Structure 1
Amino acid sequence: MDQQSVQPPQAPEEADLAWLPAHPDLSAALAAARRLPQPAERVRAAAELAGYRHNFLAAGRIDRLASLDAVPPAELRGLGLFPLRLAILASHTVDHLFPALRVAGLGRRLALDLRVAPYGQYRQVLLGPPTELDEFSPQLVLLALDEAEFQLGLPLEAGEAEVEEAVARRVEEVRHLWRRARERYGATVVQQTIVNTAPPLFGNFEGLVAAAPGALVERLNAGLRRAAREEGVLLLDLAWQVARDGAARWLDPVRWHQAKQLVSLRSAPLYGDLLARVAAAVAGLSRKCLVLDLDNTLWGGVIGDDGLGGIVLGQGSAAGEAYAGFQRYCGLLGARGVILAVCSKNDEANAVEAFDKHPEMVLRRDQIAAFVANWTDKAANLRDIAATLNIGIDSLVFVDDNPAERAIVRRELPMVAVPELPEDVAGYAARLAEAGYFEAAAFTADDAQRGRQYALNAERQRASQTSSTDMEGFLRSLEMVMDAAPIAPVDLARVTQLTNKTNQFNLTTRRYTEAEIAQVMEDPSSVTLRVRLADRFGDNGLIAVVLARPAGEGALAIDTWLMSCRVLGRGVERAMLQSLVRAASARGARALIGVYRPTAKNGMVSDHYAKLGFEPMPPPPGAEDGATFWRLELDRFVAPEHFISIMEGVA
């Protein structure tokens, strides 16, 4: 037998966007969609097709089908798409990425309106006189700079101190550009990290030479990450992704020299998705809840057949360790604020026994906010889980090893994210991470407690059914304490997060960046409130926000009033009004004006102001169609009844 015949087979190349299912006939689906008569129908079809695996050419075809410019923003919102204006200021060519970006946006429930600054003119655009971008007024600005823009001109023999000083100086220049972008556009800023495209000069010794090209890029990226954390700037960490996937998968040296395309055509769909998931996080569209199957997903085997001792989990086998590793990753997602739930076709007693008694079980029962194990179809159970947690069904990610179950849920509940899984459980955690469903735009102490808060909320619901014979008695038994105070810098990240994620109890659904909310905070004539709520079960965290601005003639207009659905039905809005009236009176206001802007998701608060005693008033000139306006004279205000203790002297 010759030497060539005994060579191991080459593993197939891993597909990009591998978490998405493959379409059985994408070309036929595109052809059928092109025959749809209305632009909005074609956008809906394009958004559906964006949820399937696609390459650069297919992304271009889906993008041409969508023609987002032909559909008004109100219609896009009606389709469940969030319009977002994104500007890219780049030192490398990005135009070839736009179709993939828009298609990735559709897959993340975004309708992206894109603008690019003139090639390499990012400094002039940010520091010079007004340009077309000022009129565009982007909500998100990406600063995408390549390695050549960070040449420091240092000799290879430069010492540590000289290198550190040059890196700090360059990072400070970029920091100034971030600040200018925020001041100029009021936008959230995203910085793309620097991709190292240069071959090493010193081999494995490269990282030990302070001024070696590879070492410099590492230092610059470390400085950018540190500065971004300090400045509240988000990252598109392309350097991390390229290092993880390999430069050959991302970079095309020929296209770089021909057209200064840093990202290859092949990687355009993945690049588009990386940026779209950051934009979705900014817009509050990241998923909230991970719903897990049990048999052959969290452990190997079927517990109903194999028994507690027969399932594969933990030490003793490679598969058992892989299942434990996947559980560990899910537990870490829970620790950072993702709600965990279980949806399994199982007898509940068998399913719970694994959590309570298996010595290698990593996830604990008290980490699971909603536990559903029965023989009902999973689509129905997923609806029940969303209702139990009081979150939108489009907040769910469902992980199941069974391809048939995945296909059924996708068909019955297309708004639920259902990732494709690899054959081996060893790849489950990586695949879930690759999918980017839980992309974060902030991480706060409240986030770390969210899973526990939802679990406690389930306990409150059970208590409402068992401990009281009437709602008033239940509310009294909760012993609620509300802390309403002006928004402080320490609250800013969480307040911005709530502003961009809350859809149902949100009177205006206006989205704001940290910089924009900080401007309201600094205005002495405005009122800001952030509300925390605790009860006998525990702390619910920061659960509500109010922003009110002067509206002339002694009135304050309530620009934003939003509240987490976790605390619905407890009278929090009535207690909040009491604090808001006190704060408004302290500013010398004589009236409050409330605005309700209807959306596809906030119908539950259409009568919010009427319930609180506001009187309807005529819309002002230029008011948005469909919006209603309400007025409350403060000298006629009577504190509404509720069962919440309000901390004194804080608002």
Structure 2
Amino acid sequence: MSNHLYSQLGWLQAAPEDFSAQCRQLLTEPAPLGLRLQHLANHALDENQLNKLAKAIQKARAAGTSMAPLVPFRLGILSNATSHFIVPALVATAARHGIALDCIEADFDQVMQEALSPSSTIHQAQCDAVLVAVDYRGLPLNAALGDAEAAHHTVQAALGHLEMIRNGLRTNSKAICILQTLPRPVESAFGSLDMALPGTPRQLIDEVNRGIAQSVAGTEDLLLDVAHLAETVGLADWHDPTLWNMAKLPFASEFLPLYADHVCRLIAALRGKSRKCLILDLDNTVWGGVIGDDGLDGIVIGQGDATGEAHLHVQRTALALRDRGVVLAVSSKNTDNIARQPFQKHPEMLLREDHIAVFQANWNDKATNIKAIAEELSLGLDAMVFLDDNPVERGLVRKMLPQVAVPELPDNAALYARTLQAAGYFEAIAFSGEDRKRAEFYQDNARRVTLQKQAGDVDAYLVSLNMQMTLQPFDDTGRARIAQLINKSNQFNLTTRRYTEADVAAAQQDPNAFTLQVRLADAFGDNGMISVVICRRQQADWDIDTWLMSCRVLGRKAETAVLQELITQARAQGIQRLIGRYLPTEKNKLVEDHYAKLGFTLVDKQADGSTVWELHVQDAPLVDLPIAILRSGFAPKADEKFIVS
């Protein structure tokens, strides 16, 4: 396959013919600017189009126009190469991913100076993250050919150079470091021997890249694997010696949209905007043919047939995504029992019914089915990716549900899986045991929703779940997951304040902070960590700085159980009032009345919709709940059960 899928972002629709005119009109229309920016950015834009959109964003920013619902993010850029041409592409591309990006550039080839100086431009800007865009030409990578010891010292010196940059960033700011791997040069000294001989550029760069990946693992810093990106499109195409010699551009301008998209995927993932659910069409997507017409023996799938193997690859890709926590669902125009037959009976099928969290096979339009899937999974539409071979169905979903990601698919089914993966909808910045189980969490939740619909008595249903809630303060073991939840949770999040792992550790150690991590298990399985709370002491009050919960547990009185724990702990520590704040965003309207429903009293309301609430803890009643409460690490230490009788 040619590089067009990557260089031209082939999973996106082509830009509209009047793209330039739409950019000029952005500030003249009444609709929310952020949504229109995101719509325009969500096309396959070339360098010139990215520049036009970035200029429109710059004008809007200069005019003080709100970018809502785009999430603000400040990115510093340190590079040994020219980075001016990258900035407009990053700013425009970020809008595609729901981010209002502000870039701060350091001077050319001033990487170490900017990182180490507390008064540098990068540090004074208080960036959320810093992109360290250093390639092999910015590191000391010379060693005696064939000398293994000298090669080892060279690699360690290069890694030490990068670690010094990271230490400078950590010391002088709270910014997360985005560290690139190094695309190796095309030219070789010994041909095939380059890979084995110590001291060759090939051998040195490969070792440095392994060291970079190892140094980032288990930290808050992020890895941007530019080496893999360059190898994917071809090193000879990636490196343009003319552009480097003339303008110190680190890669061919053809790949600027691709590079910008990969950077912005990381930023979006950092802000919790990675997709969580893959919705599959069936006919001519998961298998070849139409099950309703061709029957079980007539559909094409499996080994020994090019078309069958292409669709098998789609299934294999879906299962691989599920193994890393992506939820699978089905939306198909079909009779339900017929659509299920291949899952139940076809010997070549890899996907089975128990892999699918929600199965929607009916004659409703796809948009209606997708909304039902989102509701049953308690996920937002912006968590969905819809894979369908039919351009008419893709167009309908894009029009009716613009929040849903719908990749363009080529005519050749052999490229469906590659196109889906190239789009990067499920970009991850970390992977934990809970991530691995996420698909099962949502699948179990869908079963709970189904059972609840069948149950006439909600309280009896909740009791039948045999819920057990574990409550404990922040600890080292849970820190990474706590930070992940804080940065990913958008809907059930009262303030949507974002904190790094370092911030979480600080709260954990702060004697004036009360912290709470909450886990929930039930008869259907373990939901994992479902809530995080941070309270900060202000004299005799606890100011609830952060309160977020997983939407998977809505309607199960989990929020009431968390409040009762806050009341219990507040009384034990002599706290008189809980002060709750609601800071409205585009996504958290769900919790607009959260404090009112829990018995708090409104004490202040601002023009922007933000509110302040209070609850006097001595007057707050404790009620029976259908949840067994297990505490760990608190005083008083006790296991209590609040059960509906």
Specify the TM-score bucket, using the shorter chain as the normaliser: over 0.9
1:244/1:349 CA distance change after superposition, 3 Å: same
- The question of whether the paired residues in 1 share the 8 Å contact of 2:34 and 2:70 is answered with no
Q: Quick check: 1:511 aligned with 2:512?
A: no
Write the distance in 2 (CA, Å) between the matches of 1:63 and 1:309.
53
Between 62-71 and 139-148, report the one with greater CA deviation.
62-71
Determine the structure 1 residue equivalent to 2:610: 627
1:318/1:578 CA distance change after superposition, 3 Å: same
C-alpha deviation, 1:338, in angstroms: 0.9
Residue-by-residue CA offset, 1:508-534 (whole Å, 9 max, x unaligned): 011222222222122232122111100
Between 228-237 and 210-219, report the one with greater CA deviation.
228-237
Q: Quick check: 1:643 aligned with 2:626?
A: yes
Write the distance in 2 (CA, Å) between the matches of 1:641 and 1:441.
40
Write the distance in 1 (CA, Å) between the matches of 2:4 and 2:432.
38
Q: Tell me, which stretches of 5 or more residues in structure 2 are unaligned?
A: 635-645
C-alpha deviation, 1:222, in angstroms: 0.1
Between 507-516 and 268-277, report the one with greater CA deviation.
507-516
Taking structure 2 as the reference length, the TM-score comes to: 0.93
**Residue in structure 2 matching 1:64, options 29, 35, 55:** 55
**Residue in structure 1 matching 2:129, options 130, 140, 154:** 140
Residue-by-residue CA offset, 1:72-97 (whole Å, 9 max, x unaligned): 58x322xx211111111111111101
**Residue in structure 2 matching 1:495, options 470, 482, 488:** 482
Determine the structure 1 residue equivalent to 2:84: 95
Write the distance in 2 (CA, Å) between the matches of 1:315 and 1:264.
39
- The question of whether the paired residues in 2 share the 8 Å contact of 1:89 and 1:121 is answered with yes
Q: Secondary structure at the match of 1:449?
A: helix
Determine the structure 1 residue equivalent to 2:638: none
Q: Quick check: 1:554 aligned with 2:543?
A: no
C-alpha deviation, 1:230, in angstroms: 3.4
C-alpha deviation, 1:178, in angstroms: 2.2
Write the distance in 2 (CA, Å) between the matches of 1:633 and 1:114.
45
What code does the residue aligned with 1:276 have?
C
Q: Tell me, which stretches of 5 or more residues in structure 1 are unaligned?
A: 1-9
Write the distance in 1 (CA, Å) between the matches of 2:467 and 2:349.
35
Write the distance in 2 (CA, Å) between the matches of 1:516 and 1:612.
28
C-alpha deviation, 1:176, in angstroms: 4.0
What code does the residue aligned with 2:45 have?
H
Between 232-241 and 30-39, report the one with greater CA deviation.
30-39
What code does the residue aligned with 1:267 have?
F
How many correspondences in the alignment? 631
Determine the structure 2 residue equivalent to 1:570: 556
- The question of whether the paired residues in 2 share the 8 Å contact of 1:249 and 1:267 is answered with no
- The question of whether the paired residues in 1 share the 8 Å contact of 2:183 and 2:235 is answered with no
Determine the structure 2 residue equivalent to 1:529: 516
Write the distance in 1 (CA, Å) between the matches of 2:254 and 2:607.
43
Determine the structure 2 residue equivalent to 1:263: 251
C-alpha deviation, 1:228, in angstroms: 0.4
Aligned pairs for 1:310-349 within 5 A: 310-349=298-337
Q: Pairwise CA RMSD of aligned residues?
A: 2.1
C-alpha deviation, 1:585, in angstroms: 4.8
1:57/1:648 CA distance change after superposition, 3 Å: closer
1:123/1:365 CA distance change after superposition, 3 Å: same
Determine the structure 2 residue equivalent to 1:76: 67
Determine the structure 2 residue equivalent to 1:222: 210
1:121/1:616 CA distance change after superposition, 3 Å: same
C-alpha deviation, 1:232, in angstroms: 3.0
Determine the structure 2 residue equivalent to 1:31: 21
Determine the structure 1 residue equivalent to 2:278: 290
Aligned pairs for 1:454-473 within 5 A: 454-466=442-454, 468-473=455-460
**Residue in structure 2 matching 1:615, options 597, 601, 604:** 601
Between 110-119 and 606-615, report the one with greater CA deviation.
606-615
C-alpha deviation, 1:187, in angstroms: 2.1
C-alpha deviation, 1:433, in angstroms: 1.0
- The question of whether the paired residues in 2 share the 8 Å contact of 1:39 and 1:70 is answered with no
- The question of whether the paired residues in 2 share the 8 Å contact of 1:40 and 1:76 is answered with no
- The question of whether the paired residues in 2 share the 8 Å contact of 1:397 and 1:416 is answered with yes
Q: Secondary structure at the match of 2:618?
A: helix
Determine the structure 1 residue equivalent to 2:473: 486
Residue-by-residue CA offset, 1:92-114 (whole Å, 9 max, x unaligned): 11110111111111111111011
**Residue in structure 1 matching 2:44, options 28, 46, 53:** 53
Determine the structure 1 residue equivalent to 2:640: none
Between 521-530 and 498-507, report the one with greater CA deviation.
521-530
Between 62-71 and 107-116, report the one with greater CA deviation.
62-71
Residue-by-residue CA offset, 1:463-500 (whole Å, 9 max, x unaligned): 2133x431111111111000111222222222222212
Q: Secondary structure at the match of 2:563?
A: helix
What code does the residue aligned with 2:24 have?
R
**Residue in structure 1 matching 2:396, options 400, 408, 419:** 408
C-alpha deviation, 1:381, in angstroms: 1.2
Write the distance in 1 (CA, Å) between the matches of 2:257 and 2:572.
53
Write the distance in 2 (CA, Å) between the matches of 1:611 and 1:43.
31
What code does the residue aligned with 1:238 have?
V
Write the distance in 2 (CA, Å) between the matches of 1:153 and 1:604.
58
What code does the residue aligned with 1:309 have?
D
% same residue: 42
Determine the structure 2 residue equivalent to 1:6: none
Write the distance in 2 (CA, Å) between the matches of 1:11 and 1:325.
19
